[in-house]
Amino acid sequence: MRNIFLFVRRYFNFILFLLLQGFSIYLIVHYSNYHNAIFSKTSNQVTGKINEKFNSVTSYFRLKKTNDSLVAANEMLYNKLKADFEYPDTTSRLKIDSIKVDSMEQFRKYQYYPARVVYNSVAAQNNFIVLGRGSSQNIKLGMGVIDPNSGVVGVVTEVSSGYAVVMSLLHKDSHLSGKLLKGGETGTLNWDGKTPNIISLAGIPKGVKVVKGDTIISSGFSTSIPKGMMMGIVEEVKSDKSTNNHLIKFRTAANFYNLEFAYVIENKQTEEIKSILEKEKQKSQ
């Protein structure tokens, strides 16, 4: 208390000046229409700037909630895509139960599961991604993984009850099938372990016209990745002197540097396809 009195005594003149100055401004603004209008305009501008900055801060702290809601919304939209359903070939059937036809769920081909990325590497020769979703949440070996923009990320190679390991495209043993969107020619993806986000597409003949900016999509020749998913955009095309093919390098559609969320794709027909292939292999042995 003594320090407060000493402070007031020491700065009494300055405090009195501020009080009188404030009172004078109040009188001018209150009794002058012109100054009142200027003060109102200025105070509105200042208040607006403060509110804008405050909203920016609060929006930043709401990003997690916003991202979670967007992931849930994307999951719902993915699972309603026409490409996720495949009607059976009915030409050899004499009769189809109309109750089953009424429900598209009977013919669903793909199911999408959202997952948060808990670990991601891009600088190693063989890079892996760990998702915070495992066998307890319907994840299985061989499932394909894409980013929120439908860019191909990789394939699930290991699963525990709560986590899944994904071999990303930035892995020297990752050889997914890709195709040119324009011509439809199919090749194999290879990563040389040098530049992240830059991958090669091998097996495209020199007779095929390929230019910078062409789009590469998934071929659909596997049970992991649906046909038509974005793989990347061609960055460089050279002629391979040792073969009759192009040397094509493209930038991946998925940005592995800032990957936070992903979608794991379940192909409902995988087990049936594997079963029939296994039977055929046994016959040829």
Residues 76-81, mean pLDDT to the nearest whole number: 68
**Residue 97 — pLDDT band, cuts 50, 70, 90?**
very low
Residue 43 has pLDDT above 50, yes or no: yes
Tell me what the mean pLDDT of segment 135-160 comes to. Answer: 93
Residue 232 has pLDDT above 90, yes or no: yes
Say how far apart CA 91 and CA 55 lie, in whole Å.
60
Interval 204-208 mean pLDDT: 91
**DSSP assignment string, 96-154:** --HHHHH-GGGGB-EEEEEEEEEEE--SSSEEEEEES--GGGT--TT-EEE-TTSBEEE
**Average pLDDT rounded to a whole number, residues 2-17:** 77
pLDDT tops 90 at residue 76:
no
pLDDT exceeds cutoff 90 at 84: no
**Separation CA 232–CA 212 (nearest Å):** 11
Token pair 């670990």 in the structure block, residue = 119
What is the structure's pLDDT at 62? 60
Q: Mean of the pLDDT values across residues 4-13?
A: 76
Q: Are 145 and 162 in contact (CB under 8 A)?
A: no
The helix (H) or strand (E) run that includes residue 267 is strand 261-267
Q: Between residues 182 and 89, which one has the greater pLDDT?
A: 182
Region 80-84: mean pLDDT is 61
Mean pLDDT of the chain: 81
pLDDT of residue 52: 62
pLDDT higher than 80, residue 169: yes
Residue 170: what pLDDT? 94
Q: Where are the alpha helices (DSSP H) in 32-153?
A: 33-61, 63-78, 98-102
**Which range is least confidently modeled, 17-26, 45-54, 85-94, 207-216?**
85-94
pTM over 0.85: no
- Mean pLDDT value of segment 16-44: 72
Task: Evaluate if residue 96 carries a pLDDT over 90.
Answer: no
